[in-house]
Every structure is written in structure tokens, then in C-alpha cells.
Amino acid sequence: MLLINTIKNKLRLSYRKKRWPGLIHAYKDYLPVTLNTPIVSLNEGNTPLILSNSISQLIGNGTKVYLKYDGLNPTGSFKDRGMTMAISKAKEEGQQAVICASTGNTSAAAAAYASRGGLKSYVLIPEGYVAQGKLAQALMYGAEIISIKGNFDKALEIVRELSTKYPIELVNSVNPYRIQGQKTAAFEIVDDLGHAPDWLCIPMGNAGNITAYWLGFQEYLKIKRNLKLPIMMGFQSEGSAPLVNNIIVENPETIATAIRIGNPVNREKAIQVKKESKGDFQSVTDEEIINAYKILAKEGVFCEPASAASVAGLIKNKNRIKKESTIVCVLTGNGLKDPDCAIKNNDAIFRKNVEPSLQDISKILGY
Ligand SMILES: *Cc1c(COP(=O)(O)O)cnc(C)c1O
């Protein structure tokens, strides 16, 4: 008995000992950092790759569908992967302030990492279109917030201008260090699966993340960590689909506010990814997004609406998938970011104004 307990303790400690040091420390050989880089980290990365039984079954044909749940990063979205790099490099370069335009998650991550690194952060957000959780984060983490009467694209135009005029580092995904940090998600997927998936399904806003994943898969291919590359499937919302339709959308509208972007800054790079990977860009309706959002939640995975676009897109392509494929859907942000959306869009039984009586409640429960 004593021996068994000792073995159990050792096993548990061996799991615990692998304390994740954050993605820069874990992947520093693949990142543009030196011994002099002051690493600003919240131990981001190492997010779970969850096998979804219900979605695998829905797709059928022996397909395995995994969810890369990047909503479990320290500020609740994949933006932390890019921000640990961007803020560390800004600090290394002696910058004292950073700025970004944001639909919410970039501002939360920028504010958190800037504060941790002792830098000032300014964020421009589109008034009325930032989910509650994200706004709460930016307020708490200590950013100076400027809410503009305009959309994300206008905000980005302004911060780009400001960052060239004044000594403020721009930390939107035009910042090359963001892409470098974000590519580590592709490394993690390959490290977990032992190979690259056949398909990668991902939502697109500014299309920095699809660019970053592709870079990661390519770098791992070069050193033979994976021997093939995935088909990259990028999804946008029908009311905000500049990459699908190859246009600029003046007034993008969608329930998925994180991808409500009409003129993506990484347009050319994303088109290149699509071409090189033989992938596709497609749109999904808000209704399809909400449907996927509910399917995911029923399996215990709560993501934000923009993230559910990856699963909505996959479901649309059910008949195109070769049998026994391995597919990864990227869940970019946590469901708690946008509680209003969840409260408005669910099929829960929610009885209100119930008397606190054992008899009444037993009756309600059907006993
Ligand atoms: C930023 C963001 C996206 C879009 O990523 P891009 O790199 O801009 O394409 C998607 N989902 C969530 C939750 C985000 O925060």
C-alpha cells in the first residue's frame, strides 16, 4: 500500500514538474529572441487539443476532429501568443508605450502584457462592438482606452498613423513578432498529434493567425517534425467576408465581433497561404455560427462566437472530407469573453421566480 502510494505520488509529481514555462522559453530556438530579450510572459501557450466525439461523429467517415482550445490562454484568447513576443521585443528595443486597435481581444492581451512588462498601453476600440468580458479586461489590466465612433478598420488606420509619428510601438498583427509568437500553436498541434492534421479550420479577421499557423507548419516541415502540410480552411462571417469575396467591406456586420473586420491587413499573406496549401476561404452565416457555438458548448467547450466559425465552416464541408481525415478546428477565444451572446443564444431550461419550496421544486423536476 505504502509502495503504491509512493509510485502514485511520483507519477503525479512527474506531471507537475513539467511546469510549462511559457511559449518563448519552450520554443526559443524557433523565435527571434536572444539572451538579452527581457521575456514578458504569463506562461501562455500549451493549450489543450481536445478530441471532439460529437463533431467527429457528425462529420462521420472515420474523421477525427480536434479542438485547439486557445481560449485557455492567460487572457482568454490566442492573442497572448503574439503579445508575449510583441511586448518582449518592444521592451528590448527600449519602447515605453504600445498601441493597438482592437475588436477586444488584442486590447485585453496588450493591456495585460504591457502592464506586466512595465509599459504603458493605449487601445482604440469601436464603440458598442466590444464584448463585455474583453472590455472588463482592458479596464482592469490598466490600458488607457479610447472608444471611437467608428469601426475597427478606422481605428487601425489611426493607430498605424500614430505609431509612425510618435514613439509608440504598434502591436496589431502587422507587427511581425505577433506572427512569430502565434506560429507556436502549430508547433503544439504537431507535438501533440505527432504529425500535421489533414485540414486546419480557422476563423479569419485580419488573417494574422492563419498566416502564423502556416508559418509554423512550414518551419516544422523544414526540420522534419511533420512530413506533410495541412489544407488551410479560413472562415469568415457572411456579413464580414472581405477575403472570401476579395473586396473591402465598408460596413461589416456579424454577431462574431472578433472577426468584424472589413479590410484585413494580412490580405496578401492570407491569399498566399490559401494558394500554397490548396485551401479555401468560405463564409458562414451568423445562424451557422450560433449553431456550432451550441454544439461545442454541449460537449463542454465554451468558445466565443468568432471561434465557432471554424466548426461552422467544417460542418459545411462535410461532404468534401476524405475518409479517416484528422482535422483541427482552432477555437481562438473563450466563451466567457462574450456573456451577452451566450445569454441571448441558448436552449437552456431556465425557470425564474421559483418559490424556495422542496415540494414545488420536486414537482418542477417531475418527481
Ligand atoms: C483576433 C481574433 C480572431 C481573428 O484572428 P486574425 O488573426 O485577425 O485573423 C478570431 N477569433 C478571435 C476570438 C480573435 O480574438
| Tens digits of residue pLDDT in 280-317 | 999 999 999 999 999 999 999 999 999 999 999 999 99
DSSP H helices, the chain, are 2-17, 23-26, 53-59, 79-92, 105-117, 132-141, 152-165, 176-182, 184-193, 208-222, 242-245, 267-277, 286-298, 305-316, 339-344, 358-365
Distance from residue 286's CA to the centre of ligand 1 (Å): 16
Mean pLDDT of 108-126: 97
Q: CB of 308 within 8 A of CB of 255?
A: no
Provide the pLDDT for residue 2: 75
Q: What is the pLDDT of residue 11?
A: 81
pLDDT of residue 298: 96
Q: Does residue 1 register a pLDDT over 90?
A: no
Ligand 1 centre to CA of 193 (Å) is 24
Q: Residue 309 Cα, ligand 1 centroid: separation in angstroms? A: 11
pLDDT score for 6: 87
- Is residue 92 predicted with pLDDT exceeding 90? yes
d(CA 250, CA 242): 9
Task: Give the pLDDT confidence of 146-201 residue by residue, as tens digits.
Answer: 999 999 999 999 999 999 999 999 999 999 999 999 999 999 999 999 999 999 99
Beta bridge partner(s), residue 328: 66, 200
For residue 207, name the pLDDT band (cuts at 50, 70, 90).
Answer: very high
Q: What is the mean pLDDT of residues 215-232?
A: 97
Residue of the CA atom closest to atom 14 of ligand 1: 258
Ligand 1, CB cutoff 6 Å, lining residues: 77, 79, 105, 173, 203-209, 258-259, 304, 306-307, 332-333
Beta bridge partners of 101: 124
What pLDDT does residue 169 have?
98
State pLDDT tens for residues 327-343. Answer: 999 999 999 999 999 99
Task: Give dist(CA 120, CA 104) in Å, integer.
Answer: 17
DSSP state of 177: H
Radius of gyration of the chain (CA): 21
- Integer Cα distance of 169 and 98 in angstroms: 5
* Span from the CA of 5 to the centroid of ligand 1 (angstroms): 45
Q: What is the pLDDT of residues 51-68, one digit of tens each?
A: 999 999 999 999 999 999
Pocket perturbation via mutation, ligand 1, pick of 67, 70, 105, 213 by most ligand atoms within 8 A of CB: 105
User: If you measure from the C-alpha of residue 233 to the centroid of ligand 1, how many angstroms do you get, rounded to a whole number?
Assistant: 14
